[in-house]
Amino acid sequence: MNPTPLRASWVAASLAFVVVLATSWRTLVETAVEDRYGRDLRRTQALHAELDEYVMKCRTGLATSYDPFEQTLTELKRLHRLSEHTPRLLTSEGRAEVSARRAEYGTALADKRRLIDDFKRENSVLRNSLRFFPVAARELADKLAAEPGGSELAGRLHDLLGEVLVYNLLPDKEFRPHVEGAIAAMETAAASPAGQADRDELGILLTHARAIVEHKPRVDDLMEGILHLPVAERAREMDAAYSRRYGAAIDTAATRRLVLSLLAMAILGFGAADIILRLRRTAEALRAATAEAERANTALRLEKDKEKELGEMKSRFVSMTSHEFRTPLTKILQSCELLEAYIERMTPERKAEHFSRIRNHVIEMKQQLEGILVIGRAEAGVLEYDPAPCDVAAFCNDVVETVAQGGGPVRIEPSIQVDWNGARMDKRLLGHILTNLLSNAVKYSPNGGRVEFEARREGDEAIFVVSDEGIGIPADDQPRLFDTFQRASNVGGISGTGLGLAIVKKSVERCHGSLTLDSRPGEGTRFLVRIPC
Amino acid sequence: MTTHRRNVLYATFGGALWACAPAGGASPPGPSAEAQARFADASADPVEPIAPDLTLDPRKVALGERLFGDPALSGDDAVACSTCHFAARGMGDGVARSHGPNRKETRYNSPTLFNVAQNYKFNWTGKFESLEEQLNAPMTNPAVMGAKWEDVIAKLQKNAGYRRDFEALYLRQGITQATITDALVSYERSLSTPDARFDRYLRGDESALTADEKAGYELFRTHGCVSCHQGANLGGNMLERFGAVRDYFDAGAVPEADLGHFNDTKREEDRFVFRVPSLRNVALTAPYFHDGSATTLEMAVDVMANYQLGRPLTSEQTRLLVGFLGTLTGSYGGKPL
């Protein structure tokens, strides 16, 4: 897989991770605050329930201290202030909704605050009169009953007391005119001379009865107002809105957490794959580079070997030429010096011998130079091949004769087919082949023996076989035997250029023929040449 | 609580049944002496002992006390908070209305600051619901401190001691309106006077009050004073019309100050409504009422009985009540006031 999309993937995942994290950072870290917010909302509702209960207690006189009102209201105010900072976990719409609910609740709370203040004010007066009136009324009634003519008034007072107390207990207002009537009747009755003595006392009593009549409905209305104020409902609504939004926010947060963890996994996965692929690619590149270096190294070594071989060949050439040319040149020089010094005293035979020697050596050198030229031409690829009608038998005989002229202890036994009708061959190349093979056979048979030369025709091929009983060629030398200036290791003092077999090989190849060698050291050598004719 | 509930039920329903009983007999059935005692018991302990606020930082209190006595908090360096609130006059100043140098007379009597932490409404009209909200009013009122906050802050900034203390207590906030207010309010909250003889009595020490004082307390409860003067501070937690049962003011011609809470809300029902003041240390804080019109406690008690309770007192009852009120004097800084 190509690593580029991999890298793009994990870079994209990282970017997405950062973006998601940045946008949802606030939603992920505030769980503790949210808990507190929700707790405060529920505590608010509980406190309102307590307040309502306490209002009823105060109304019935079960509670007399107003401190709990103020403590609770102070706490509610504190909670309301705290709730101003809606949790940032919520969406902005969620926060707006909670804030709107909070504002509604705040209005209701302020209403409750005011109603409770009013309630305390009215209730204090009512409780004061309620505490005083029954006792004072009872006392005055007793006192009046003891007075002459006061029993009727005492009875009326009893009635009034009963009516005021019932009025205080009844939730409805229909009873009020009745009580007010009773109070008025009482006043009228008190105006009679009988009650004169206790008029002040009765006046106070009636003031309190009126206070009860006046304040009781106010207190009840205020209590009703407080109890029916939708403040707890507003708090519940706020709580509900918050809980709903909070739940949604939690869901969102959970989703974002999931997305974040998936992204983190993607980053890690793609990143790891990317790194692994990169490493693998690097390793491959390294291996390829190593192989390339290896190849270059090998080529260099081969080049070096070739160069070395070339150098060796040059040095062989130099040693060969220095040796092979110096010997005939020395001999030519000798003959020339002898002829110069003693030409007048020499017999004609001796003179002819020296001239012949000079000529032979010159011919030898010429042949060697020719061989070098042939090899040079062959290696340059310009060796000419020009087959022409040819009397192979005669040509072979000439060659044998020429080689045999060299003398030596060797007997050449030719077996030459007579009929070569229609054969076409390049005589020069054939000459190179046969002359070299035959002269080698003669040369490397220092202990004499037979040299067999066979020339025959098989179909379109001319076959030439040269075999001797000479020193042979070691198997180790055979593979390189046909290279230029290469000579077998067992040649000893036998002189030679190392060119002959190379010329043979090049010539055979040029004639599209083939060459086979079969030789054993000490037993002899046999060459078989096939050339199309 | 169960005892109270039972007593109240007995009192109310008992009263109702008794009222429904046939009247006009020679000896109509009435509440026995025992029932009357229970009736009174319905509001047995409307008062609680006070305890000092132990959560305050003493260093803030000390700093607040220093600020409280520092004239640098006024606009002209002529008055300090302590000019009108000092311990010898029960953390008020003993005059009907304060009159500082180069200032108009204040609108209201300087109220006591003792036990102010237990109050839930502040200043005479109950305009403020927290000491922090309230503090700005006297600071900027030209008749009181007549200061500008930025001037005060600048003055305090020049003082190395204040700088050091504020930095030590409020870290980077340093000297601001909020931190000055916090230090002063901390001091105000520390002005608690526990251990009044009445507190000891409430805690169960019967010998803390004399027989007359106990009778005064009984009167205080049964006569109706406790309807408003309840809670730990015997007041300070509600507003009430001055003249609850009988008109106190001449509605036709009263100074604006007498309109009370009406000035804050403009609601008709708040006309003549004032904060019910705490009665703690009341023997030390003459003269009385928002205008300092009652020069003695006896006068104040009689006015209250007539206009708030609608029940004139005999001179004996007044004496007993005043005697009881004397037991509300606590101690400050470990010493009885």
Other residues' Cβ atoms within 10 Å of the Cβ of residue B83? 18
* B interface test, pick of A53, A71, A112, A121 with most B CB neighbours within 10 Å: A121
In the predicted model, is pLDDT for residue B20 greater than 80? Answer: no
B167 touches chain A (CB under 8 A): no
Q: Which residues contact A252 (CB under 8 A, 6 or more apart)?
A: A24, A27, A91
Q: Which two tokens stand for residue B319?
A: 């004496």
SS3 label, residue B72: helix
Residue A275 lies in a domain: no
Q: What are phi and psi of B331, to 5 degrees?
A: -125, 150
Q: A480 pLDDT band (50/70/90 cuts)? A: confident
Residues A364 and A450 in one domain: no
In the predicted model, is pLDDT for residue A57 greater than 50? Answer: yes
Q: Quote the radius of gyration of chain B (alpha carbons, Å).
A: 23
CB pairs A-B closer than 8 Å = 139
Q: Which two tokens stand for residue A40?
A: 């405060």
The pLDDT assigned to A29 comes to 63
Residues A469 and A373 in one domain: no
In the predicted model, is pLDDT for residue B164 greater than 90? Answer: yes
Nearest of A386, A509, A523, A347 to residue A445 by alpha carbon: A523
Residue A278 lies in a domain: no
E strands, A361-476, are 388-389, 410-416, 424-425, 449-458, 461-467
Of the given ranges (A229-233, A371-375, A428-432), which has the lowest mean pLDDT? A371-375
Q: Which residues contact A328 (CB under 8 A, 6 or more apart)?
A: A361, A362, A364, A365
In the predicted model, is pLDDT for residue A10 greater than 50? Answer: yes
Nearest of A419, A407, A40 to residue A238 by alpha carbon: A40
Of chain A residues 190-229, which have a CB less than 8 A from chain B?
A: 204, 207-208, 211
Residue A286 lies in a domain: no
Q: Which residues contact A397 (CB under 8 A, 6 or more apart)?
A: A414, A416
Residue A5 lies in a domain: no
B266 touches chain A (CB under 8 A): no
Q: Which two tokens stand for residue B68?
A: 């409280």
The pLDDT assigned to A157 comes to 87
Residue A280 lies in a domain: no
Q: In this structure, are residues B49 and B203 in contact, taking their beta carbons and an 8 Å threshold?
A: yes
Q: B304 pLDDT band (50/70/90 cuts)? A: very high
- % of chain A residues with pLDDT over 70: 96
Residues A257 and A339 in one domain: no
Residues A41 and A187 in one domain: no
> pTM of the entire structure?
0.65
Average pLDDT over residues A50-63: 91
- Structural domain tally of chain A? 4
> What is the tens place of the pLDDT at every residue in B245-255?
888 987 678 88
B240 touches chain A (CB under 8 A): yes
Average pLDDT over residues B273-292: 94
Distance (Å, whole) CA A102 – CA A239: 9
Q: How far is CA B174 from the centre of its chain?
A: 33
Is the backbone of residue B48 left (phi > 0), alpha (psi -120 to 50) or beta? beta
Distance (Å, whole) CA B198 – CA B327: 5
B42 vs A contacts (CB less than 8 Å)? 61, 64, 131
Encoded amino acid at A12, one letter: A
In the predicted model, is pLDDT for residue A210 greater than 50? Answer: yes
Distance (Å, whole) CA B244 – CA B238: 13
Strand partners, A451: A412
Residues A359 and A453 in one domain: no
Distance (Å, whole) CA A49 – CA B234: 26
Other residues' Cβ atoms within 10 Å of the Cβ of residue A181? 11
Q: Which two tokens stand for residue A512?
A: 């599209």
Residues A393 and A518 in one domain: yes
The pLDDT assigned to A30 comes to 63
How big is the CA angle at A47 (ends A41 and A51), to the nearest 5 degrees?
145
Residues A103 and A219 in one domain: no
Distance (Å, whole) CA A210 – CA A399: 174
Q: What does DSSP say about strands A449-458 and A410-416: parallel, antiparallel, or unpaired?
A: parallel
Domain boundary among A327, A357, A381: A381
Cis peptide before B49 (omega within 30 of 0): no
Residues A418 and A377 in one domain: no
Residues in chain A, overall count? 533
In the predicted model, is pLDDT for residue B43 greater than 50? Answer: no
Q: B32 pLDDT band (50/70/90 cuts)? A: very low
Distance (Å, whole) CA A346 – CA B337: 176
The pLDDT assigned to A175 comes to 86
Of chain A residues 89-118, which have a CB less than 8 A from chain B?
A: 117-118
- CATH assignment at residue A371: 1.10.287.130
* Alpha-carbon dihedral angle through residues B301, B306, B309, B315, given to the nearest 10 degrees: 50
Encoded amino acid at B131, one letter: L
Average pLDDT over residues B209-231: 93
Bigger pLDDT: B45 vs A239:
A239
DSSP codes joined into one string, A370-417: HHHHHHHHHHHT------EE--HHHHHHHHHHHHHHT-SSEEEEEEE-
Residue A162 lies in a domain: yes
Q: What is the mean pLDDT of chain A?
A: 87
A158 vs B contacts (CB less than 8 Å)? 19, 23-24, 28
Encoded amino acid at B269, one letter: E
Domain boundary among A340, A362, A381: A381
Nearest of A89, A93, A87 to residue A24 by alpha carbon: A89
Residues A515 and A395 in one domain: yes
Residues A95 and A242 in one domain: yes
Q: In this structure, are residues B322 and B329 in contact, taking their beta carbons and an 8 Å threshold?
A: no
Distance (Å, whole) CA A423 – CA B250: 169
Task: Tell me the C-alpha to C-alpha distance, in Å, between residue A124 and each of A197, A205, B227.
Answer: 31, 17, 5
Domain boundary among A226, A244, A259: A226
A138 touches chain B (CB under 8 A): yes
Residues A518 and A413 in one domain: yes
A72 vs B contacts (CB less than 8 Å)? none
Q: B13 pLDDT band (50/70/90 cuts)? A: very low
- % of chain B residues with pLDDT over 90: 69
Q: In this structure, are residues A447 and A519 in contact, taking their beta carbons and an 8 Å threshold?
A: no
Range of the domain at A499: 388-532
Residue A283 lies in a domain: no
Nearest of B204, B249, B237 to residue B122 by alpha carbon: B237
Q: What does DSSP say about strands A514-520 and A524-532: parallel, antiparallel, or unpaired?
A: antiparallel
Nearest of B286, B21, B64, B29 to residue B189 by alpha carbon: B64
Of chain A residues 61-90, which have a CB less than 8 A from chain B?
A: 61-62, 64-67, 69-71, 73-74, 77
Residues A207 and A246 in one domain: no
> What is the tens place of the pLDDT at every residue in A72-102?
999 999 999 999 988 888 888 989 999 999 9
Q: Could you report the predicted ipTM of this complex, rounded to two decimals?
A: 0.82
Distance (Å, whole) CA A404 – CA A412: 7
- CATH assignment at residue A482: 3.30.565.10
Residue A181 lies in a domain: yes
Q: With an 8 Å Cβ cutoff, are B31 and A134 in contact?
A: yes
Q: In this structure, are residues A468 and A450 in contact, taking their beta carbons and an 8 Å threshold?
A: yes
